[in-house]
Amino acid sequence: MDAYLFIDFGSTFTKLTLVDIEKEEVIATEKSYTTVETDVTIGYENALKKLNQKVSGDYNIVKKLACSSAAGGLKIIAIGLVPELTAEAAKRAALGAGAKVIKTYSFKLNSSELEEIKNSNADIILLAGGTDGGNCDTIIHNAKMIEKFSISIPVVVAGNKSSNDEIKEIFGEKVEYYITENVMPNLNHINVDPARETIRNIFMKKIVHAKGMENVEKSISGILMPTPAAVLKAAEALSMGSRDEEGIGDLAVIDIGGATTDVHSIAEGAPSKPGVVLRGLEEPFAKRTVEGDLGMRYSAMSVFEAAGIKKMKKYLKYDDLDIEAEFKNRYTNTSYVADDEKEIDFDEAMAKVCADISMKRHAGVVEAIYSPMGMMYAQEGKDLMELPYILGTGGVIVNSKNPKEILQAAVFTMEDPTSLKPRRPKFLLDKNYILSAMGLLTTIDPNMAVRMLKKYIVEI
């Protein structure tokens, strides 16, 4: 039988998903530790060996595609003009490309900021600034500074189109650059997709080589995108469908990992009630936010800081644990696996805190304004109140016995009355942990990806 093999080089695990093309079924999944320090090929082959033992019968792999977040994933520095406008738009484009935004800069950059950029471990710089036909000075100044400090990081230029020619001249042969469409072509309207694709292409062609992946590239067809981008693609496919297949409509994905919690929403987020005025920058239809301080292991201490003991107690069943010590233990021992009931309960309480806070930060807020005409409401961000689905993924949710309870923490409560979190969503589960694999499948056969997603993502 013919099969596709999808590989996800994660920070901890290399995960394989083998898919039967004709039956559109997952034949098997397998994982092994990622071996990025030596050669990722080792971890990949270990996983492959285990996979072969599982599968009975012969299969012929037609295509092997991979996504990767190993070695810290894709790190981007975003530069814009006004912090709330082009700098924010650049940041959203980078997040949508599956990157980790290590810092956002705005206005004209100075030498110490350039030193900081030079000494950072960023993989790509996303340079924006000005609407089309708007401000040119700042982006040109910043391009000159990048050239002057001989920055060797590839630069994606996604700013005012009127400044592109001058930037080409400034960069010349000295700076590696890629020009794409403006992230904010006119005020408050964002255009993140072209920048997203450009970033993905650079990732595919250049970044993976620099991450000790060149050996494994020979044995597979290609590392196409960062893992979060694959998850976002899968979420988009499930929500919107493809040319021939119907999607299931608006949804949000909560992905709780060891270091971060990602939330993706595929929804317009327009006000669900009348009499609400929208404020602030337009939201991308497919939006991703990353909470670098919310994660089950590497970020355990910052979860403790963000949540506090009170919030943890709200979700804990047992109250005789030393909460701070439990967090410390998970932070210092990142490969820790909870095994008894109490420890599992603690892990799940942490996951609930992550779901709760990450959704609060992702969803919009509504603010009451007292005006001479009576009370008015202004909404900033997406209104997810009527969102029909929340889909859970990530180890702690997938392996939990009560995934629904964890996701329930992301729902609106009267504790945050101004938050526009979903109120009565149904819950879905990525039971087989195949979301990133399906994101990769959308690049070969989007119709099949939608059908498989609808088959394997189950309601809980």
Partner 1 sequence: MEKKKVVLGVIGSDCHAVGNKILDYSLTDAGFEVINIGVLSPQEDFINAAIETNADAILVSSLYGHGEIDCRGMREKCEEAGLKDILLYVGGNIVVGKQDWNEVKQRFLDMGFDRVYPPGTPVEEGIRDLKEDLNITE
Residues that bind partner 1 in the complex, under the rule CB under 8 A = 81-82, 84-86, 130-131, 133-136, 184, 186-188, 277, 279, 369-373, 376, 378
What is the closest distance, in whole angstroms, from the C-beta atom of residue 107 to partner 1 in the complex? 9
Element (H, E) at 6: strand 2-9
Residues in the chain: 460
User: CB-based contacts of 250: which residues, under 8 Å, 6+ apart?
Assistant: 239, 265, 266, 267, 268, 387, 388, 389
Cβ closer to partner 1: 164 or 227? 164
Q: Are 454 and 435 in contact (CB under 8 A)?
A: no
What tokens does 446 get?
């989007």
Q: Give the Cα separation of 73 and 143 in Å (integer).
A: 26
Cβ closer to partner 1: 184 or 231? 184
What tokens does 441 get?
């499948």
Burial of residue 326, with CB atoms counted within 10 A of its CB: 0-12 exposed, 13-18 middle, 19 or more buried: buried
Q: Are 63 and 239 in contact (CB under 8 A)?
A: no
What is the closest distance, in whole angstroms, from the C-beta atom of residue 129 to partner 1 in the complex? 8
Cβ closer to partner 1: 57 or 374? 374
Cβ closer to partner 1: 128 or 428? 128
What is the closest distance, in whole angstroms, from the C-beta atom of residue 84 to partner 1 in the complex? 6
What is the closest distance, in whole angstroms, from the C-beta atom of residue 381 to partner 1 in the complex? 15
Task: State which amino acid sits at residue 155.
Answer: V
Cβ closer to partner 1: 79 or 122? 79
What is the closest distance, in whole angstroms, from the C-beta atom of residue 130 to partner 1 in the complex? 6
Q: Give the Cα separation of 88 and 82 in Å (integer).
A: 8
DSSP type of residue 315: H
What is the closest distance, in whole angstroms, from the C-beta atom of residue 108 to partner 1 in the complex? 10
Q: How far, in Å, are 78, 162, 343 from residue 132 at the CA level?
A: 18, 7, 54
Cβ closer to partner 1: 52 or 186? 186
